[in-house]
Every structure is written in structure tokens, then in C-alpha cells.
Amino acid sequence: MLDIKFIRENKDLIKEASRKKHVDFNVDDLIEADDRRKEFVASIDELRTKQNKISAEVAQTEDATIRNGLILETKSLKENLQKKEEEFRNIMKGWQSMMLQVPNIPDMSVPEGAGDEDNKEIKKWGEPTQFSFQPKSHVELMQNLDMADFERGSKVAGFRGYFLKNDGAILSFAIWQFVLDEVRNKGFNPLITPSIIKKEPFIGTGYLPQSEEDLYKTQDDLYLSGTAEVSTMGYYMDEVLKKEELPKKFVSFSPCYRREAGSHGRDTKGLMRVHEFFKFEQVILCEASHEESVKYHEELLANAEGLMQKLGIPYHVVVNCGGDLGLGQVKKYDIEAWVPSEDKYRETHSASYFHDFQTRRLNIKYKDENGKSLFVHSLNNTAIATPRILISVIENNQQEDGSIKIPEVLQKYMGKEIISKQ
């Protein structure tokens, strides 16, 4: 959410943000709604002032006739005030709904484009893996090595269900422990976060109302989160932090759930697009400074790249175009890992910063050296998401005999160098 004063003073910026992000939003309608809101605030304040004045006169008037007349006037004012307040509540609902739809201003370096096909490659690490044999898909490799059961996964969990088993499960645990060790060494504090969450943190982070169709909802009006970002951002909701405590850095872990609405027919086999998964998320809260946000954005990207490089997975980094940014994102990088069976890169990580878009909604502040209250800035980045990362780990390390060489950094966690048939 942006400040309404900023919006009123920078209508052209909002219009440009809407255009660049391909968001259907009319800032003039919001300004008109805000004018009406302000008119009603003034009108209600005037009625309350008048009501208080007459109430004071009633208390001081001894003449019964005059007093009864004032009481009748007070009653009329009260009825009028109640009617105005009811109208105002409806006006506020509309105004608040529009405020939640205002897009954040993308950074000047964000390229033009309508969707992920317009994202721009900015760097590449490693060369796509070459084989002297026809490489197999992760599905075939994992089934042959008894690492996964997709048929029983669908039987138990429905469409996109899966079981990881034996070395498939152990490989996931190994990756989790490796990532936790690495990111903790970068100064990030570990959190295991709730994944069943109230509505407010979803609104605060921008996943509601825009992405409601992709969320699972319980019968208790709670939501299942698709990322630990949501609960981690809710941790300091409605709190004031100390400047000397910043930045706050977390590596947060949780199960994650996504309906994958709108993706029917895409990636229906294997582990690329599943309804239930697990993720380590890096989250940073920092001072209200664009320079600080940019610095930590690059740090988050570097951390994720470091993990990929130690795993030995070829990848490239793209900067997302305007049409592939979320409502609140100022700028986003995606890391896409090489998938040999598809002969292309697939997205595994996203790193974003938001300025105070999320923290204004969540009311997370700090006091600067002058005692002024400011909203902190927020950033997040995927450290690792499983089981998706297993695809590239397994496919890029397959051997001609169908075995899988375990990346060196994971061998100590698995206690062996090769996954092969027993």
C-alpha cells in the first residue's frame, strides 16, 4: 500500500506504474473516492462538534422550554450523524478496496514487457550439462531408483500428489540441512513459521485480494500459506522496532500450499508444479532507504546464487519485466536452473524488494535518530524450495547407468557419494 498523500501528489507515477505492470487501475477514480471520503470526514466532524456544543448548552440551560428544544435538536443531529456514519462506512470500504489495488512504483531498471517471456537475462553460471547418452527425466530416474511414488501420491493426495521415499526423502533432508547451515552462516536467524494463517498477513504482504484464487482456505476462515514470507512478515505486525535492531534477517521454513489455479495442463507430471511443498525463505527488514533495499536485494540474490553454485547446478538470472512483477514489488530477480530433460532453464528462486509497500499495510515501523516514526523496508528471496530443486539436482547429476552422483556438499549429510539401485 502506498500513502494516499504520495498518490495524490504523484498521479502520473501511479499511472505509469499501472501501465508498466499491466495493471488495470484508475488512479483518478481513487482520487475522486478520496475527495468524497475527506468531505464526509469534515461533515461528520462538523456534526459532532455541533452535537457536543448543544449537549453542553442543554446541561447549562435551566429554562425547560429552551432545554426541550435543544434536546429535540440533539436527537435530530444524532439521527443525521448515524446516517452519515453509515454512509461513511460504505465509502471507506470502497476507498480501502481501491487503496489495496494501487500498484507500487517499479524501479527504473525494470524492463518493459507483458509476461515472463519478456524477462531479461543478466548473468549465467555454468554451462548447460552435456551428456554422452540420452538423459532421463527426474520422474524416470526417481522411479527407477525407488526415490518417489507418483501413482500412490495421486491415489492418496489427488492430482499432483507425490511421495518422496528412501533416498528421495533423505536427499530432501540433506538439502534442507545444507541450506540452513549456509544461510545461518550469513547471519540469518532461523524460524519455523505457521502455514495456517489469518487473513491480515496475506493482505499485508499483498497476496490478498489479488491472489485469492491460488490460496487454500479453511472452514475457519484461515488460509494455507504458499510461502513463509507471509507469516514472517506478520511476526512484527503492529510493532515499532528500534533502529539499532535493523536489519532483521530471517531464514524461515514452512510447508507451503498452492492451488496452482490457472496452470491446469502445465507440468502435470513430476515435481515441478505441486500443491504441497517445503521452502526456506530469506526475509529482511531494513531501514527506509532505497539504497539499503538495493544493497540487501543484491545480497539475497548472491546468497541464493552461492547455494546453486555449491550444488553445481547450471543456472541463469533474469530481471523480471514490469508485467511479471507482483502488485507490490519494486524489482525482482528470478534464478532459473537448467533442466536437461526439457533442454531449458526453469524458475527455482525469486528475490524481491518492496520498499514500505508491505510494512505500511502491516504497520511495522521504527524510530530514526530524530525520533521520527518510519515504515521499515522489506525484502524476500527463496533460499531453496523442495521438491522442485530435486529436479535439477537429480537430472544434472545422472550417470549413464541410471545412478545419480550426489553433489559434494550434500555427501556428508547423506553419508554416501552415489544413489544407485540396491
pLDDT tens for 133-165 read 999 999 999 999 999 999 999 999 998 999 999
Q: What is the pTM of this model?
A: 0.92
Instruction: State yes or no: pLDDT of 263 exceeds 70.
Output: no
Phi, then psi, of 382 in degrees rounded to 5: -70, 125
H or E element in which residue 352 lies: strand 344-353
> Are residues 17 and 133 located together in one domain of the fold?
no
| Residues labelled as active-site residues | 258, 273, 347, 350, 388
**What was the pLDDT predicted at 267?**
67
Instruction: State yes or no: pLDDT of 220 exceeds 80.
Output: yes
pLDDT tens for 223-258 read 999 999 999 999 999 999 999 999 999 999 999 999
DSSP state of 273: S
In a domain, 14, yes or no: yes
Instruction: State yes or no: pLDDT of 106 exceeds 90.
Output: yes
d(CA 329, CA 205): 10
The angle at the Cα of 223, spanning 217 to 227, to the nearest 5 degrees, equals: 125
- Last residue in a domain, options 74, 99, 124: 99
pLDDT band at 76 (very low <50, low <70, confident <90, very high): confident
d(CA 306, CA 218): 38
In a domain, 109, yes or no: no
In a domain, 107, yes or no: no
> Prior bond to 247 cis, omega within 30?
yes
In a domain, 106, yes or no: no
> Are residues 94 and 203 located together in one domain of the fold?
no
**What was the pLDDT predicted at 163?**
97
Instruction: State yes or no: pLDDT of 288 exceeds 90.
Output: yes
d(CA 35, CA 297): 37
* Adjacent-strand bridge partners of 196: 224
Alpha-carbon Rg of the chain, whole angstroms? 27
Those residues whose C-beta lies under 8 Å from the C-beta of residue 69, and which sit 6 or more positions away, are none
Residue range of the domain that includes 300: 116-419
d(CA 345, CA 348): 9
pLDDT band at 96 (very low <50, low <70, confident <90, very high): very high
d(CA 386, CA 369): 42
What's the domain count of the chain? 2
> Are residues 305 and 175 located together in one domain of the fold?
yes
d(CA 230, CA 202): 6
